[in-house]
Structure 1
Amino acid sequence: MARVKNRKIPMRKDVVTGEMAPKKELVRIVRDSEGNVSIDETGKKSGRGAYVSINVDVAKKAKAQHAFEKTFSVTVPDEFYDELIEYVDHKQARKELFENGQ
């Protein structure tokens, strides 16, 4: 009888809530060597990474707290946070759609 190997689920810490969560349930934000902060959709961009939940409320809290300015020690424009909220909203809607559709 074949044994099923339990795979280790990579966990990351949400910079807003401080909670650990599976990497798949988070969005990676990256600061590159020039100090630019962006959403890392692939999870493979080079640079310093930080994670935030796929949750609109958490993304809004990140904007209110300027969470990534503290994390990366750079100035992050409000437009980035607005883009993040929009991106997370889209990801959250897709996640709910596919979870309910199966």
Structure 2
Amino acid sequence: MKKRKIPLRKDIVTGEMFPKKELVRVVKNKENEVSLDPTGKKQGRGAYIGLDVAIAKRAKTERTFDKAFSLKIDDQFYDELIAYVDHQQARKELFKDE
């Protein structure tokens, strides 16, 4: 069987390349609304962040997405991002056998 190519994306916080499945996409749409994009299919400009709570907390302290999207983003968004990443990290550890 032919080996499938794994798409890689760059983590905006660390600058490292990761497989797309190990990242979460954050998207800014035309109305300048920033949101999480778990499906990776939303319209707009996207940036990726690793599924690691430490990376998400670093993004909050450095205001990474403010710089990436040239917007002032609420702390509430960063808190939502940290909670989402924490949840996904826990799921990944729970279901790692499958």
- TM-score normalised by structure 2 residue count: 0.97
For residue 34 of structure 1, the aligned residue among 26, 31, 34 is: 31
Q: By how many angstroms is 1:75 displaced?
A: 1.0
Matched with 1:83 is 80
Is the partner of 1:80 in helix, strand or coil? Answer: helix
In structure 2, distance between residues paired with 1:75 and 1:36: 11
Q: By how many angstroms is 1:42 displaced?
A: 1.0
For residue 57 of structure 1, the aligned residue among 46, 54, 59 is: 54
Matched with 1:15 is 12
* CA deviation profile, 1:9-30 (whole Å, cap 9, x unmatched): 0000000000000000000000
Aligned length: 98
Matched with 2:91 is 94
Is the partner of 1:33 in helix, strand or coil? Answer: coil
Q: By how many angstroms is 1:41 displaced?
A: 1.4
Greater radius of gyration (CA): 1
Is the partner of 1:39 in helix, strand or coil? Answer: strand
- TM-score normalised by structure 1 residue count: 0.94
Is the partner of 2:95 in helix, strand or coil? Answer: helix
Is the partner of 1:45 in helix, strand or coil? Answer: coil
